[in-house]
Chain A
Amino acid sequence: MKYTTFNQQNVNQLDEPMFFGNPVNVARYDQQKHSIFEKLIEKQISFFWRPEEVDVTRDRVDFQKLTEPEKHIFISNLKYQTLLDSVQGRSPNIAFLPIISLPELETWVETWSFFETIHSRSYTHILRNLFTDPSSIFEDIVVNDEIKRRATDISKYYDDLIYATQLWQTQGEGMYTNEGQPYPVNMRELKKKLYLCMNSVNALEAIRFYVSFACTFAFAERELMEGNSKIIRLIARDENLHLTSTQHILNLWAKGKDDPEMAEIAQECADEAKEIFMKAVEQEKQWAEYLFQHGSMIGLNKEILCQYVEYIANQRMAVIGMGQPYDVTSNPLPWMNNYLISDNVQVAPQESEISSYLVGQIDSAVSEDDFADFEL
């Protein structure tokens, strides 16, 4: 089906599925099929921040004091996160927008991706402060084997879905061959690709950031690189919200509250989806090994970090009905919670005085006493 930027057919958006229905026409939010996405948009917008608001100048001094293994840990994590946010800053837009059928979901995806671009900008902000010329760091991201291996797994499902969607939207259903590779294109195949892609994104948001978050906060526990840690806290808060959205999408499908065919596919592909998640967990654990190959840092080692990944994985897999396959019942890094509390994220002083502070808020409550000293 050909994509149109403004579908002139009159469609009832409340009857559309999240994906692969009619293209969206009017961007209206007065009625929502799935109100959760509208709420997520509002929450995400209320989180708006800019990297320049965070002062990272002290980090440069701290960085010089780090040992060589610690520098390796710090810089490698930044590289990995740069890769993750480079992918997430564009892929949800390119992969999901052409096939979304609900205005609230369309806007959520755009809002989500926009925040990932803020994250990417903050890595430049951090690196520019640490190095006079950060080029070599950025250039290594596409050369470094450890990072490349992860990039393949992260982008694979997106690329599959994007290519199949392009074939479908330009040529319709059918069997295609490109460079000797067969590409069967039909609705069932497309939806399967979408399901696997969403699972891969969910695993990314759920697991892939957490080894580097733990390292960043472990530095902060020692009062090192605190500017960086403030930025990462803001990023962690956003990522948590993004994760909530993919969990909702997967559960809406699985529980038959959206497209009934997606509920069938969720059952059919359950094992494959679980495998995607567990592979992400394994890769994160291997990442921990790579980080600590030259030596550990105070307060963290490979074993405890791997346990933390498994602990987080148990929780996140349980939410989407994948059970709790790992044998970790208590949180091995309890201090992590202090950094993941939304309240502890530094905000503008006026915001911390009133928790419900809104920009441009108008006080419309007027009592008679307000006119007490008013004379005509």
Chain B
Amino acid sequence: MTDRDNTYRIDIVDTVTVTASPDKTLLESLESQQIDVQYHCREGFCGACRTTLLEGEVEYTTDPLAFIDDDEILPCCCKPTNHLKIKLGF
């Protein structure tokens, strides 16, 4: 599923398409491409970075404690496992 350079495509609804590497958290990948995402704890317990996941799958590096709905992810503690379509803000 990975591209040649071993990255995943992240479509951000109504903005841009960026790339994410599987060895960084999604939040770090977005920040490295100047995408502004709200965050606080960066450890999965506050929920400030809550993002809607429209397509694709992620895997968590730590168990998310914050409340997230079935279609939401916490970029601070997950990595993409394939191409994603996400919507920032909620």
Contact = CB atoms under 8 A, between A and B. Distances in A.
Interface stretch (A20-28, A335-343, A363-371): A335-343
A175 B2 CA distance: 68
Contacts of A241: 45-46, 65
Interface stretch (B9-17, B18-26, B34-42, B79-87): B34-42
A39 interface: yes
Nearest to B36: A330
B11 to A, nearest CB: 21
Contacts of B90: 318
Contacts of B36: 330
B66 interface: yes
Interface in A242-261: 243-244, 247-248, 251
B10 to A, nearest CB: 21
Contacts of A251: 67
A90 interface: no
B12 to A, nearest CB: 16
A191 interface: no
A141 interface: no
Contacts of A244: 45-47, 65-67
A240 interface: yes
B83 to A, nearest CB: 27
Interface string A318-332: 110000000001110
A276 interface: no
Interface in B31-72: 36, 38-43, 45-48, 50, 63, 65-67
Contacts of B89: 329
Contacts of B47: 244, 247, 319
Contact of A342 (B41, B50, B63): B41
A341 B40 contact: yes
Nearest to B46: A240
Contact of A40 (B41, B43, B65): B65
Contacts of A39: 63, 65
B40 A240 contact: yes
Nearest to A345: B41
Interface of B: 36, 38-43, 45-48, 50, 63, 65-67, 89-90
